[in-house]
Amino acid sequence: MAEEVSNKQIIFKDYIHGFPKESDMILKTSTIKLKVPDGCSDAVLVKNLYLSCDPYMRSRMSKIDDNYVPIFTPSEPMSGDGVAKVVDSSHPDFERGELVTAITGWEEYTLIKSSESESETHFIRKIHHTNVPLSYNIGILGMPGMTAYTGFYEISKPQQGDTVFVSAASGAVGQLVGQFAKLSGCYVVGSAGTKDKVDLLKTKFGFNDAFNYREETDLDAALKRCFPQGIDIYFDNVGGEMLDAVLPNMRLNGRIATCGMISQYNLKPAEGVRNLLYIMAKQIRMQGFLVYHYRHLYPKLFDLVEPLLEQGRIAYVEDVAEGLESAPAALIGLFSGRNVGKQLVRVASD
């Protein structure tokens, strides 16, 4: 008989409008047998170690036709990227004790069933990077790393000497874009929402300059101060008012990588952006991307980042909340900018 243990879970209560609140998620304690059920083939039972809090998860909390990510199921656990350890497996590729990244539940233990969908096979991967903090596998070596790689190299097509602006620049993605830009010989400026984050950009991540958008009374003036010759590449994590201020400051043939619009996710309708005429007048290419369509580029990310990590030439700052109970507050903190760096939740240490 398999051992039955308690399994704390963070349950998604119901679809929401506007800003998410902690009370939209409920802590519940159920039980689970630490064994893949009989007859459940190609399944893996994992113990969750780290969970990732990401802005895109907001989109999973509202029922919208034609959503770009699957929505959460009310009364079921929240889910997202996680680092986990295999407790039991009926899958030939995974065995007890192995470390994996997977789409896991926001709970202590998750039974990950196989799926016939081709893309689902990507949802669980063995961890091969063991000489870096485990959590990096859902950070710099995971989805945020891939997002920064894709948006900067594939979408923005940087040239040496380009001027690059990054919003939400100390976040999970922005901090990497800034460092990639420096490595590519670009001049890079970031915006963030506190003095400490601005300091971090300039000292830890090597941005040429940075500003606190909350303290600027005139974003256009701030951008003109930082980019007297204009901006070649804007890596847009926020949308809205900042995008509107950036557009007139773009240079001819500028590129805008539309990675996210965190300032807009909780607004309905979104803010209106008025300066789109510059898309024409400056021959701007504004291009969106969804990182899960670029999974084939993971080897290129690893080839770039692994030596940089080994040589200490790239940094990755994480903000780790302790305990599953802290997950709702950690997720909500993303939308007020409470996190400093990549937001994680540590569920267990091993």
Interface positions with its own copies (CB under 8 A)? 66-68, 239, 243, 248, 258-261, 264-265, 269-290, 293
- Please, what is the minimum distance in Å from the beta carbon of residue 186 to its own copies? 21
What's the min distance (Å) between Cβ of 321 and its own copies? 26
CB of 234 to its own copies, least distance (A): 13
Q: Shortest Cβ distance from residue 207 to its own copies (Å)?
A: 24
Cα 81 from Cα 6, distance rounded (Å): 22
Burial of 166 (0-12, 13-18, 19+ CB in 10 A): buried
Give me the least distance between CB of 256 and its own copies, in Å please.
9
Nearer to its own copies, 205 or 234 (CB): 234
Using CA atoms of 217, 219, 221, 226 in order, give the dihedral in degrees to the nearest 10: 120
Residue among 241 and 306 whose Cβ is closer to its own copies: 241
2 vs 277, which CB is nearer to its own copies? Answer: 277
Pairwise CA distance, residues 349 & 50, whole Å: 8
3-state secondary structure of 226: helix
Q: For residues 114 and 287, which CB has a smaller minimum distance to its own copies in the complex?
A: 287
> Nearest-5° angle of CA 62, CA 63, CA 66?
115
Which residue number, 282 or 346, has a Cβ lying nearer to its own copies? 282
Q: In 3D, which of 85, 88, 103, 149 has the Cα closest to residue 302? A: 149
On whether the CB atoms of residues 131 and 141 are closer than 8 A, the answer is no
